[in-house]
Structure 1
Amino acid sequence: MEDTTQKGWRVVITCMKSALVFLAVGPLIGAFLLSTASALVNLEFSPSGLSAWVMTMVVGVPFAYVIGGIPSFLAGAIFASVVMVAKKKSTRAKVLIGAFSGAVAFTAAYIVHDKTPLTLLTNGDGMAYILTGVGLSAVVALLLRRRLHS
């Protein structure tokens, strides 16, 4: 009985560590991805375009933690629990599980916020939010690929 209890706590602690890493790093990566994608869509490669990108990052990072903190935390917990249950060792599998966990967590957060899942398909902001979650989760999963132990 003691061995099962210790293993259970080890799983909980590993999931919490992963969730905290996703919370700490995820919104920063998400802000970078979203502002870079926005700059590329506008295609303004000039000094003013670069300064606008830098200002977007400076102003956007605090909002990234407000908007993306909870979904990033959830994505980290989902990621760690799926990797530990599935016992996946390869980097490719962990990155795909990270992207999947980001999709699940950010879709759930968007639906909770918007209350109507149907607008997800027609709203460009919702798709950008979810794709940013997928991207940041895949990047953080890549960073954690060797640190996650069961």
Structure 2
Amino acid sequence: MHDRFAVHELLHRWWFVYDEGEFEAWEDMFTEDVWFTSRTDTGNHPHEAFIASDSRGKADVLAWQREHRLASPYPLRHNGTNVHVVDESGEEVRLASYIDVTSVVDRVPAAVASGIVRAVARREDGRYRLAEVHVVLDTMPAVPFAEVKR
């Protein structure tokens, strides 16, 4: 049986240490074979090259995240919401959540992005680590759900 609180806490902690640039904390949060992707839903955002990642392996994921974070604004806040378990099997737990990202403009928090996160946490040596994180940021104009091509 999995510890759902520990899995939720891992995802929330990762966002916090990412925003705060606590690079030394990242090392122990990922599996060696971690797979990290990020992109927009349309694939054609003006900053798509900055947003897009398809990194595999801890060294590549940590390098991309460090470079990306150093080039991003501060303060930056990734707020994970509606985190829930999608599936559990063996040593892995699949999660999904929304994110709302804010920064500060004219001394007031302002929306930067929103999106969907899908992740896999794997239990290794008695604790959970992120084995997959897939971020898709919202950029398409809103339309009635019936018109969405999925």
TM > 0.5 fold call? no
Structure 1 or 2: larger helix share? Answer: 1
Q: Does 1 or 2 have the higher relative contact order (CA < 8 Å, sep 6+)?
A: 1
Per the normalisation by structure 2, the TM-score is 0.31
Per the normalisation by structure 1, the TM-score is 0.31
Structure 1 or 2: larger strand share? Answer: 2
Larger Rg: 1
